[in-house]
Structure 1
Amino acid sequence: MSITGTLIVQMIVFLILVWFTMKFVWPPITAALDERARKIADGLAAADKAKTELASANKRIEVELSQARAETTQRIADADKRAQAIVEEAKKRAEEEGVKIVAAAKADAAQQSVQAREALREQVAALAVRGAEQILQREVNAAAHADLLNRLKTEL
């Protein structure tokens, strides 16, 4: 064979190889590359979507946290107000009880004072009767002179 014949046979074999590659080898390779590119694009889109959702979720969390903080602050303020009201109410009750105790003590003191005066009147009347007995050297009848003794008690 001559060089020209070899060259022509090699060109024919090369063209058959190119046709075979284009027909059977190249389509699966391009399909695999296209599939890979589509998966990468989908992954990037999902990552972008996840990033957007994360940002949205972070914003919602911030809003909810600020609301929770505000609500907590409000509850603390309400609890402080309630505590102050309870303290004021307790002070008011204590003052009322104090006034009642003082009034009861004054009433008790007045009652004891009246009882002490009555007892003192009784003792003075008894002493007056004894003194009169000694002066008169005779016994004075308390039942007979009850009216006189009562007048003496009222004068004392």
Structure 2
Amino acid sequence: MNINATLFLQAIVFAILVWFTMRFIWPPLTKALDERAAKIAEGLSAADKAKTELATTQQKVGEQLSAARDDANKRLADAERLAQSMIEEAKTRASEEGAKIIASAKAEAEQEATRARESLRDQVAVLAVKGAEQILKREVNAGVHADILNRLKAEL
């Protein structure tokens, strides 16, 4: 065979191969590559979108944490103020109760002192009658001399 004919035949086979490739293989291949490129582009845009969403979400979370900390601090301060007011109220009630107890004890002591004075007056009156009886060497009737004994008690 001749080299020219071989070359010509190879050129025709090559042209048929190029035509067959351009007609049947190249379009699905380019379509697959275009679809892959579109998917990659969608993935990149989704990643960018996710990054921005992540940034905004992190910002919102930071704001919410800050708000939660502020709220917790406010509640803690309120609880401390409430505790202080409760302590002050308890101190006030305790001092009032102490004052009442002291006043009651003073009143009771006053009554006890009054009873002791009355008892002492009665004893002094009895002793005075016995002393007078001893002096007069006779019995003094307490019922008859009640008026005198009452005046004597009042003077004491």
Give TM class, smaller chain: over 0.9
Q: Distance in 1 between matches of 2:103 and 2:14?
A: 127
TM-score by structure 1 length?
0.97
Q: Distance in 2 between matches of 1:13 and 1:100?
A: 124
* Counterpart secondary structure, 2:140: coil
Superposed, which structure 2 residues align to 1:102-121 within 5 Å? 102-121=102-121
Which residue number in structure 2 is paired with residue 59 of structure 1?
Answer: 59
Which residue number in structure 1 is paired with residue 141 of structure 2?
Answer: 141
Letter in 2 for 1:145: H
Letter in 1 for 2:138: R
Please state how far the C-alpha of 1:5 moved relative to its aligned partner.
Answer: 2.1
Q: Distance in 2 between matches of 1:117 and 1:6?
A: 157
The answer to whether residue 36 in structure 2 is matched with residue 36 in structure 1 is yes
Superposed, which structure 2 residues align to 1:1-156 within 5 Å? 1-156=1-156
Please state how far the C-alpha of 1:29 moved relative to its aligned partner.
Answer: 1.1
Please state how far the C-alpha of 1:6 moved relative to its aligned partner.
Answer: 2.1
* Identity score, percent: 64
Q: Distance in 1 between matches of 2:135 and 2:110?
A: 36
Q: Distance in 1 between matches of 2:8 and 2:97?
A: 127
Number of aligned residue pairs: give it.
156
Stretches of structure 2 that go unaligned for 5 or more consecutive residues are: none
* Counterpart secondary structure, 2:139: coil
Please state how far the C-alpha of 1:37 moved relative to its aligned partner.
Answer: 0.9
Letter in 2 for 1:72: A
Stretches of structure 1 that go unaligned for 5 or more consecutive residues are: none
Q: What's the RMSD between the two structures over aligned residues?
A: 0.9
- 1:52-104 Cα deviation digits (max 9, x unpaired): 11100000000001101111111111111111101111111111111111111
* Counterpart secondary structure, 2:143: coil
* More moved, 58-67 vs 93-102: 93-102
Letter in 1 for 2:98: G
* Counterpart secondary structure, 2:27: helix
Please state how far the C-alpha of 1:144 moved relative to its aligned partner.
Answer: 1.1
Q: Distance in 1 between matches of 2:82 and 2:8?
A: 106
* Counterpart secondary structure, 2:21: helix
